[in-house]
Amino acid sequence: MNIYFVFEGKTEPIVYKEWFTLLLPQLTEVDNFDEITENNYYYESDMGVPDCYNVVVNAIQEINECPNYDYLVLFIDADRSSVEEKRQEAYQTISDRLNDATRNYTYRSLPSNCQLKVLVQKVCIETWFLGNRKFFVRQPQSELLKKYIEYYDVSSFDPELLADEFEQNQEGTAQIFGYSTKALFHESYLREIFKERLKGISYKKSRPKEVQKITYLKQLLARIKDNPEHLLSFQEFINFCKKIRV
């Protein structure tokens, strides 16, 4: 089993590389896409949207040159879209770019032995991190965190539905707790929990610290076991890992 991962953000490879030691222990990272042999993975990351779609198209060219991959997997945030809307956007955009006659691509599809898989993080990866009940602060000192919990207690309710009713707009004038996007609000919620739990140490995308630990992942797995209706997009990721684990 060989996998080519494309991570939209900078946090994902930091976290997933650690999580894979539990979820996909058979896989070993390689430094270059053409170095795979057996049970390897290669990744590209931190290019955002829409650039990640171009990276996927380029990955398709590389996989055709090195046709030993079983999966090409794109991890992407849903942001304000639903999971299915974002997934369809990804597949359609990648297809459109591959079939654009003005682009001089050698290959227009993956080899038959390789599948494209789009895994959508609803709303963002920080949304998943909010699902750790053990890390949650039940009696915070921070007034801001108190307000967040009063608004929506992520230890009791599905973190993926946090601010689900909020409708952001292109102009950024619609706001929730001072943020123009749900993703920024979710990240702020997590950051406030971090500051309370770790005595002022805040969450940073480039240094996610606690969330990359296997103990943190195990708490998320416990959450979906206790509440199988919660964190459905996280469950899709877990189910994919179970499927390809050998």
* Residue 77: per-residue pLDDT: 98
Name the one residue in this structure whose structure tokens are 């973190």: 159
Same domain, yes or no: 114 and 130: no
Q: Are residues 19 and 98 in the same domain?
A: yes
pLDDT for 175: 95
Indicate if 107 and 171 belong to the same structural domain: no
Res 201: pLDDT: 85
> Which pLDDT score is estimated for 165?
96
Q: Which two tokens stand for residue 96?
A: 């459109």
Quick one: 105 and 11 in the same domain?
A: yes
Residue 50 lies in a domain: yes
pLDDT at res. 51 = 96
Residue 233 lies in a domain: no
Out of 121, 141, 158, pick the residue that ends a domain. 121
Token pair 């639903």 is found at: 82
The Cα 160–Cα 96 span in angstroms is 30
Neighbours of 193 (CB within 10 A): 26
pTM for the structure as a whole: 0.96
Asked if residue 245 belongs to a domain, the reply is no
Mean pLDDT by 10 residues, the chain (246 residues): 97 97 97 97 96 97 98 97 98 96 93 98 98 96 97 98 93 93 97 92 91 98 98 98 90
Q: Which residues of 113-148 are buried (b: 16+ CB within 10 A; e: fewer)?
A: ebebbbbbbbbbbbbbbbbbbebbbeebeeeebeeb
Say if residue 80 is in the same domain as residue 111: yes
The verdict on 103 and 149 lying in the same domain is no
Mapping DSSP onto H, E and C, the string for 180-219 reads CCHHHHHHHHHHHHHHHHCCCCCCECCECHHHHCHHHHHH
Predicted confidence at residue 168, as pLDDT, reads 86
- Number of structural domains (the chain) is 2
Per-residue pLDDT, 169: 87
Q: Which two tokens stand for residue 9?
A: 């953000």
Residue 244 in domain: no
Q: Are residues 28 and 82 in the same domain?
A: yes
Tell me which H or E stretch contains 29: strand 28-29
Residue 232, in any domain of the structure: no
103 lies in a domain? yes
> Domain limits at 153?
126-215
